[in-house]
Structure 1
Amino acid sequence: MTDAPLVDPGFDTEDDDFDEMVEAPDADLPEHRFMDRELSWLAFNNRVLELAEDPTLPLLERANFLAIFASNLDEFFMVRVAGLKRRIVTGLAVPSNIGTAPAKVLSNISDLAHELQARHAEVWNEEVKPALSEAGIDFARWDELDDGEREYLYDYFQTQVFPVLMPLAVDPAHPFPYISGLSLNLAIRIRNARTGREEFARLKVPPMLPRLVPVPAKDDAPDSIRFIALEDLIAENLADLFPGMEILDHHAFRLTRNEDVTIEEDESENLIQALEAELLRRRFGPPIRLEITEDMDDVTLDLLIRELDISEQEVYRLPSPLDLRSLFGLSRIDRPELKYTPHLPVTPLAFQAADADSKHARGDIFRAIRKGDVLVHHPYESFATSVQAFLEQAARDPHVLAIKQTLYRTSGDSPIVQALIDAAESGKQVLALVEVKARFDEANNIEWARKLEKAGVHVVYGLVGLKTHCKLALVIREEKGVLRHYTHVGTGNYNPKTSRIYEDLGLFTCSPEVGRDVTRLFNELSGYAIEKKFKRLLVAPLHLRKGLLRLIDRERRHAAAGKPAHVRIKVNSMVDEQIIDALYRASLAGVQVDVWVRGICSLRVDLPGVSDNIRVRSVLGRYLEHARIFAFANDGDPEVYIGSADMMHRNLDRRVEALVRVTSPEHIKELQSFFDLGMDDASATWHLGAEGVWTRHHRDDKGRPLADVQDRTMAAIQRRRRPRAAR
């Protein structure tokens, strides 16, 4: 690792007047102008829940949204709530956009989270589960099974489940056991038949076994699909685990722990060793949420509260089953009529073979890029036949001398990783900048980073104190004695699996300017270079924020002069106070400000005279909106960037991020049209309103469905025709 500073003076960094404008107190703006980020995140997950509640969506997709909601909420507690509690306990400063006392924020979070989890359980039990049952996908209780089905399941229990169960007693000789985070457990009260003494035992539901256990189909309904929950199967056979004991009661519970990783980096310390040690400590993070079934008795609950050292406010009493992440497993059911219509990504036009009729045939990637920049839009356009093909072709091309790439989240069996290994083994220079601190992927990243090193890839881990989040791939190719740079700058990870469900953009270019910019950035990340100038990149942490503030302020000045002015930003999160204040100032000057945000938004639209010209929309659907776009009207000469950065402190201050300027008029028009669709009142979106309330707009005044942004984008790309082969 290196601690060389990052510098991004794509703009003049010596402009003292601009610095004073940015840092000056905003006396012209109201004090309470930021929405609480934690409550805004819960509002985002509420939008996910609204999709699960939508009866017009396919049933298995509704179940999938319930699973997404559960997974999202787990991470929210493990990271956001845990971080807030840590700040309160340690006395650390609380971010200014929280707006109220931290203890009050925690109380508000608890109230809203209780409400959301109760609604989440109700949607499953009262709506989706019964509807699935009517469609032939049933979730049975033990008392609903006949003797033959119970015999089958008992045999499964004895052969597949019983051997891996580990009941743990709690008594003077056996202290209360460690409860791992997110594990599903049974709290069991038993009576010793010999002594009459009541005892307590904890039994962990094995996470390596299928949570939904198939039940044989009935003879009169051979096509039906039935499941029983694994914890129910175990509970009905507890006598086998406690012979000679009377089973008094049993209840499911689940604990969430603080699992955020905090690395205190030291130049003299091996980062991998420090991270591995921190991952071990994470397993023992303090409890922050206890989920219990609604029928749990007070004796058992009091014991859990006491032994886990958790407050009553942190207890969530819910209908069974707990942990609806198990519904992800339903996606494997082959019932296409209960799912979204399948979509097969097409090969981008520029990369289609000129002499092939198929939309999916591959052409020469390098030749296509030499003809002009190529903009790709995933998952509508194929990751496999664009990004993956780019790296695979580079790995086997004898004219390619070097490949450099950043890797934030991928997988060890990824064809991307394999392409880098193949390139290194064929004698090419290969550099992989691996971000091993990517949250919840740390262990996996360490594993495949070592795999790359063994293959001869030069693996580096970036800069001390910063995460490398930018999405860059650079190929150096010798052509007629001259070295040419082929570059990909993306908004999403180099991960073939998530590329099928994450909406992202990527720009391929052999522009010498971009090539030099990215080469210099890689030199800075892997060595000791201190770069002074970038031409088409904006780079964090030092000057990306400043660059965007300049672009926003330029629109403000254009509006003040009566010139066309428009700011459009598409991000996952809008939190940074300086960026938000700049948007408020632009709005005050008459600039139309459009923000398309997926998740957290601290920007308000209910400040009279301040936010009158600001619109905020959100799109959720079958794909996870993930692309970041920054577009500025610039008095008729639009300036547009795409890249990896969200408008958050961590992205702008504690990460290496990169935005690239899109220069092709055709690509600019395409991105503007895409933004038009997302902000159109005729599109199905959520609108941010007063007090941070999001309202879903998905039907017109006559009850007809509004246009689905993702379906419309998919259809438009599918309709594109391959250009004729050159004569």
Structure 2
Amino acid sequence: MNEVTPLHPAAPSSDEDGSTFEDEHFFNRELSWLTFNRRVLAEARNRDFPLLERLRFLSISGSNLDEFIMVRVAGLMGQAKRGIDELSLDGMTPGQQLDKINDELERIEREQDAVWDELRAELTEAGIEVIDGDDVDKTTAKWLERYFTDDILPVLTPQAVDPAHPFPFVANLGLVLLFNLKRKGDSVPLIEMVLLPPNLPRFIRIPGDHAQYISLENMIRRHAHILFPGFKLRGDGLFRVIRDSDIEVEEESEDLVRYFRSAIQRRRRGDVVHLEIEDGCDNEAESLLHEQLYLAQATVDQKGGLIGYAALSEIVDEDRPDLKFEPYSPRYPERIAEHDGDAFSAIREKDIVIHHPYESFEVVVDFLWQAARDPDVVAIKQTLYRAGTQSPVIAALIAAAEAGKSVTAVVELKARFDEEQNIHWASELERSGVQVIYGFVDWKTHAKVSMVVRREGEGFRTYCHFGTGNYHPTNAKVYTDLSYFTAEPAMGRDAARLFNFVTGYVEPEDLERLSISPTGLRRTVYDLIDAEIANAEEGKPAAIWGKMNALADRKMIEKLYQASQAGVRISLVVRGICCLRPEVPGLSDNITVKSVIGRFLEHSRIYAFANGEMMPGKKSLVYLSSADWMSRNLDRRVETLVPLTTKTVHNQVLYQVMLANLLDTERSWRLLPDGTYERMHSEANSFNLHSYFMENPSLSGRGGALRKNEDVPRLSLRRESTS
């Protein structure tokens, strides 16, 4: 395992240390994220989407909120508890942020409840009913009782709560039913707890053509007389706890794998930060709950709606294609097919960009499998941040090692909520003979890089893959990401230096193409912005386009403010957190920010600079990156910034991908100066970027088809908007 004392990223120059910008010029990171989740929730009411897809958005908003509470809210609570008064970008203490966050959380949770009421009624009309179980026909009642007796009762473990039976531990996100009972024989009262087993479905489908579901808690309630024979039910109630689930890595950890195995166990027992109690919960049971759970800082939410909206994803799986998006099959690039599936031959001919999910992730998998089977391949190096539970990428690396090739895998243990899965994959890889590296203690290796060294002729050629997303086949079906393949020798040399940095702590000095964080990526972006400022001051066209998931680094935002004030036109597509305040006179007049939320999750990171000519143009500088413009990406992670110089690749990313994001009106929200978002509408020039890419082929993957037909759909932007 590679254990070293990490470098300190290069400090900004002295002229950047003193800020002329006020706290009011920035949005709060946490509140901005909550605003993003509001946009996700809003899609559950978007009637452009099929009904079950709208339910999916409600489920996603619930899952998002759970993670936000267990990580971000828990972190702020920890700071407040320890008396840490580090101020946010907008000048608030942790305690002040928590007050505002809790108010906003309550509003979002009430909105979720309202959306669920609406969707539940519409689902019923569409033939998908979620029943309470109180009033069912005899046939259904008989099936419910049999299912409960055969499939649920054996898994349940009622636990009495009294002086002889201490209050049991409730795991993170654990759902628990409390029952207030009275023994029929002697009227002795008793409080019982029933932990809902996480391996049982939350929503149980009742057989029949008409889809009926009943929640697990209501199934148990309905059959409480079977679970507690000889007792009279006086009352009940459902509750759920959310615990602190972040993992802090200690620098002195001697064994990172052992540390994370232990930390994962501790996470399941973290402090309670949020308690959700069903509205109408039995008063005695609820009083006991408050007495027994340690709720020193936890917020308590009395829920009128469903507890745990993430579980609605189970109902989304209902076999009703008429209520879902039409199935979409990704294209396989024609260029690789023209080379009879030989990825090395296609890449050797010319660089290629694969646009997921419109083009198949199988290209990436095939690239690695071809490397594993090719007798001329001598070495494979691969970063792994999130690989999924069923990973063909892992299988290819194992096959390559077993075939006698030199295989190195950089497995990131600190990928939040994937730590356990990554430890498993690391063990599997090591058993097959792969050299597994765990990277730096303090920094995450977030770069997405694959490198294949192949013997050709008298020497060796290096083939590289640089991605904006993870090597995760499931995510690649719904996340929009870019995979860039190249055999350019300079790129290969830089990739080798990057791996040497992570595996051997050899800091790269003379990178020819790449910029990497935390050593130089920030400085490269600053230099590119400074060049646009200089061009604007000289009266030349000056523009910056950026697409990212989050923008929260103060110094980067200040740099963009400086560019705007110099006359640089800046157009940003920021899906989630954005702490920059756009379109403020005298501050950010020339900056616009939009967010795209739709069928696919926008995940690719693209940065483009006008370079002295109108944008988009032939001279525009275009980059792919694994890094958002956040402090953690720029200063505490290993990331890549990859220049695109091949004509078709450059044009595909600039004129197709980036431009489509800027032109989209149907799935876009515009960020206003006050921090609110408004949905964009344009009847005359309506444009849906997801539909566009599902219908139109990409440039670099077309091969001979491109040469035969020069009328490839090409988007255009009015010049006055980017001059």
With normalisation by structure 1, the TM-score equals: 0.93
Cα distance in 2, alignment partners of residues 373 and 567 from structure 1? 24
1:293 and 2:274 correspond: no
Partners of 2:176 and 2:194 within 8 A in 1: yes
Match for 1:230: what amino acid?
Answer: L
1:227 and 2:213 correspond: yes
1:208 and 2:188 correspond: no
Q: Any stretches of 5+ residues in structure 1 without a counterpart? A: 218-222, 355-361
Q: Aligned residue for 2:714?
A: none
| Compared CA separation, residues 203 and 98, structure 1 to 2 (3 A) | farther
| Compared CA separation, residues 724 and 602, structure 1 to 2 (3 A) | closer
Partners of 1:2 and 1:464 within 8 A in 2: yes
Deviation at 1:724?
Answer: 5.2
Match for 1:494: what amino acid?
Answer: Y
Q: Deviations over 1:92-138 (max 9, x none)?
A: 3535315223222111111111111111111112x111111111111
Q: Aligned residue for 1:358?
A: none
Match for 2:704: what amino acid?
Answer: P
Q: Aligned residue for 2:704?
A: 723
| Compared CA separation, residues 721 and 554, structure 1 to 2 (3 A) | closer
2:351 to 373, 395, 402: 373
Deviation at 1:26?
Answer: 2.3
Cα distance in 1, alignment partners of residues 462 and 7 from structure 2? 22
1:133 and 2:134 correspond: no
Cα distance in 2, alignment partners of residues 502 and 639 from structure 1? 25
1:44 and 2:53 correspond: no
Match for 1:448: what amino acid?
Answer: W
For the residue of structure 1 that corresponds to 2:92, the secondary structure is coil
Partners of 1:2 and 1:528 within 8 A in 2: no
Cα distance in 1, alignment partners of residues 494 and 8 from structure 2? 12
Deviation at 1:557?
Answer: 1.3
1:647 to 621, 624, 629: 629
1:549 to 520, 526, 538: 526
| Compared CA separation, residues 312 and 250, structure 1 to 2 (3 A) | farther
Q: Deviations over 1:77-99 (max 9, x none)?
A: 01000011111111235353152
For the residue of structure 1 that corresponds to 2:589, the secondary structure is coil
Partners of 2:59 and 2:312 within 8 A in 1: yes
- Specify which structure has the bigger relative contact order, considering alpha-carbon pairs within 8 angstroms and separated by 6 or more residues: 1
Deviation at 1:624?
Answer: 1.0
Q: Give the stretch that moved more between structures: 466-475 or 86-95.
A: 86-95
Q: Aligned residue for 2:4?
A: 3
1:273 to 248, 254, 258: 258
Q: Give the stretch that moved more between structures: 652-661 or 289-298.
A: 289-298
Cα distance in 2, alignment partners of residues 376 and 568 from structure 1? 21
| Compared CA separation, residues 708 and 398, structure 1 to 2 (3 A) | same
Partners of 2:85 and 2:94 within 8 A in 1: no
1:202-601 equivalent positions in 2, closer than 5 A: 202-217=193-208, 223-266=209-252, 269-310=254-295, 314-353=299-338, 363-384=341-362, 386-601=363-578
| Compared CA separation, residues 610 and 285, structure 1 to 2 (3 A) | same
Q: Aligned residue for 2:715?
A: none
Cα distance in 1, alignment partners of residues 521 and 87 from structure 2? 20
Cα distance in 2, alignment partners of residues 536 and 201 from structure 1? 65
Cα distance in 2, alignment partners of residues 177 and 298 from structure 1? 19
1:26 and 2:19 correspond: yes
Deviation at 1:346?
Answer: 0.4
2:154 to 145, 159, 163: 163
Partners of 1:53 and 1:62 within 8 A in 2: yes
Deviation at 1:718?
Answer: 7.5
- Computed over aligned residues only, the root mean square deviation of the Cα atoms, in angstroms, reads 2.1
1:676 and 2:678 correspond: no
| Compared CA separation, residues 32 and 726, structure 1 to 2 (3 A) | closer
1:88 to 76, 80, 98: 80
For the residue of structure 2 that corresponds to 1:634, the secondary structure is coil
Cα distance in 1, alignment partners of residues 678 and 552 from structure 2? 20
Cα distance in 1, alignment partners of residues 154 and 38 from structure 2? 40
Match for 1:377: what amino acid?
Answer: H
Q: Give the stretch that moved more between structures: 399-408 or 345-354.
A: 345-354
Partners of 2:411 and 2:438 within 8 A in 1: yes
| Compared CA separation, residues 544 and 95, structure 1 to 2 (3 A) | farther
Aligned residue pairs total 700
Q: Aligned residue for 1:359?
A: none
Q: Aligned residue for 2:133?
A: 142
| Compared CA separation, residues 216 and 201, structure 1 to 2 (3 A) | same
Q: Deviations over 1:187-212 (max 9, x none)?
A: 11112334433222211111111121
Q: Deviations over 1:59-94 (max 9, x none)?
A: 010011011001000000010000111111112353
For the residue of structure 2 that corresponds to 1:487, the secondary structure is strand
Partners of 2:181 and 2:189 within 8 A in 1: yes
Q: Any stretches of 5+ residues in structure 2 without a counterpart? A: 614-618, 709-723
| Compared CA separation, residues 191 and 110, structure 1 to 2 (3 A) | same
Cα distance in 2, alignment partners of residues 725 and 47 from structure 1? 38
Cα distance in 2, alignment partners of residues 528 and 82 from structure 1? 33
Q: Deviations over 1:3-58 (max 9, x none)?
A: 275699xxxx8xx9x823332x122x344211000000000000001100112310
1:154 and 2:148 correspond: no
Q: Aligned residue for 1:714?
A: 694
Partners of 2:180 and 2:284 within 8 A in 1: no
Match for 1:463: what amino acid?
Answer: F
1:70 and 2:62 correspond: yes
Q: Give the stretch that moved more between structures: 562-571 or 69-78.
A: 562-571
| Compared CA separation, residues 608 and 562, structure 1 to 2 (3 A) | same
Cα distance in 2, alignment partners of residues 306 and 536 from structure 1? 61
1:610 to 573, 587, 606: 587
Q: Aligned residue for 1:667?
A: 649
Match for 1:117: what amino acid?
Answer: E
Cα distance in 2, alignment partners of residues 31 and 133 from structure 1? 49
Cα distance in 1, alignment partners of residues 186 and 299 from structure 2? 36
Deviation at 1:313?
Answer: 7.4
Q: Give the stretch that moved more between structures: 487-496 or 137-146.
A: 137-146
With normalisation by structure 2, the TM-score equals: 0.93
Match for 1:666: what amino acid?
Answer: T
| Compared CA separation, residues 271 and 313, structure 1 to 2 (3 A) | closer
Cα distance in 1, alignment partners of residues 698 and 646 from structure 2? 21
Cα distance in 1, alignment partners of residues 96 and 19 from structure 2? 26
2:93 to 101, 104, 115: 101
Cα distance in 1, alignment partners of residues 441 and 511 from structure 2? 22
Deviation at 1:242?
Answer: 1.9
Q: Give the stretch that moved more between structures: 331-340 or 466-475.
A: 331-340
Cα distance in 2, alignment partners of residues 337 and 472 from structure 1? 39
Q: Give the stretch that moved more between structures: 86-95 or 419-428.
A: 86-95
